[in-house]
Amino acid sequence: MTPLEFGRRVLAWFDAHGRKALPWKDNPTPYRVWVSEIMLQQTQVATVMPYYRRFMARFPDIRALADASLDEVLGLWSGLGYYARGRHLHRAARILRDRHGGEMPSDIAQVRALPGIGPSTAGAILALAGGQRQPILDGNVKRLLARFAAVDGWPGQTRVAARLWELAERYTPSERVADYTQAMMDLGALICTARRPLCGACPLAEGCTAHAQGRETAFPSPKPRRELPVRATRMLLLRSAGRDVLLERRPPAGVWGGLWSFPECPPEVEIVDWCRQRLGLRVAVGRSWAVLRHTFSHFHLDITPVPATVTDAAEAVIAGDRFVWYNSQDCERLGMAAPVKSLLAALTGDLLDD
């Protein structure tokens, strides 16, 4: 199938069946497209839509996002996962405010230089918002092209990725680029699905090599499996006499970077001594709760929650921006990972909004 015929079929399908009611399709500015593309990384459209609407209502443009605090940004991101995306979005907005006049550049090299923006996301921003001829290669498009050309191997391999980029470049048309780009993402999400592709409804089935071989689900190859390591931590669910809960801001990098969590007490130390020495608090420790397992992409985290109550402030050393006594009724919304929100709700009896 020639590139001209490929593009014609994709666009004809999009005109008849493509998704046109997505909120970021209304007034697709570079900023609105950028936020949607970041939120959609490894996250389903249905999950993203309410988060996107709340985010846009609070941060309608780059300057509003850049001027906000990281706490407020991560507070609105809570529950969406992969929190580095929110941190990078905020940092990139500040770069755009300070170096680019609060506007997204039209040069792809400058877009790619921003934190959290890879080649496919950069291409999508410029194609969807500006109509630039830029190929994209998100997960859905990788799957579609791997099947169409029967590209063997896992897309994370350099050789396979290079071949898929060649195909993406070859088939991207020069006209109606925004519609074509959206159409390719829609085809992958709705038709060329991972487990049960709807080949009878696919406009590209006639030229698809995997379909001709009856091996649609053989492409692309899955990521090589490996046993995930297990890490363990002990979270201290510490309440004051007034029933507020002590939260600690995590370091800016690493797991849940910049989010608020419970203080983590090393398993080999005595909690009472640790609280007195590190926090300046005397505490009464309760019975540990059942272990809660949270799985990341690269390891399992086994959390042992330990409730405790402050009995006296010996020489309180809690100060600065690192700690906060949290009360869901009085405090502003803070960015927290899903397991922390669940434990906090169980501890206080509150239902925290997503």
Pairing of strands 230-239, 300-313: parallel
Residues 6 or more apart from 78 whose CB is under 8 A from it? 259, 333, 334, 335, 336, 337, 338, 341, 354
Residues 6 or more apart from 153 whose CB is under 8 A from it? 159, 160, 220, 221
Tally of residues, the chain: 354
Nearest Cα residue to 102 out of 63, 132, 72, 134: 63
Instruction: Tell me which H or E stretch contains 145.
Output: helix 139-148
Question: How many angstroms separate the Cα of 62 from the Cα of each of 2, 114, 195?
Answer: 40, 13, 38
Burial code of 35-60, b = ≥16 C-beta within 10 A, e = fewer?
A: bbbbbbeeeeeeebeebbeebbeebe
Residues 6 or more apart from 242 whose CB is under 8 A from it? 325, 327
Quick one: tokens of 95?
């770069």
Cβ-based neighbour number of residue 145 at 10 Å: 26
- Cα Rg, the chain, nearest whole Å: 24
197 within 8 A of 267, measured Cβ to Cβ: no
Instruction: Tell me which H or E stretch contains 291.
Output: none
Is 264 catalytic? The answer is no
Instruction: Tell me which H or E stretch contains 113.
Output: none
Point out the catalytic residue in the list 5, 37, 169, 248.
Answer: 37
Burial code of 260-293, b = ≥16 C-beta within 10 A, e = fewer?
A: bbbbebeeeeebeebbbeebebebebeeebeeee
Question: How many angstroms separate the Cα of 334 from the Cα of each of 74, 169, 254, 258, 331?
Answer: 7, 42, 18, 10, 8
| Residues annotated catalytic, as ranges | 37
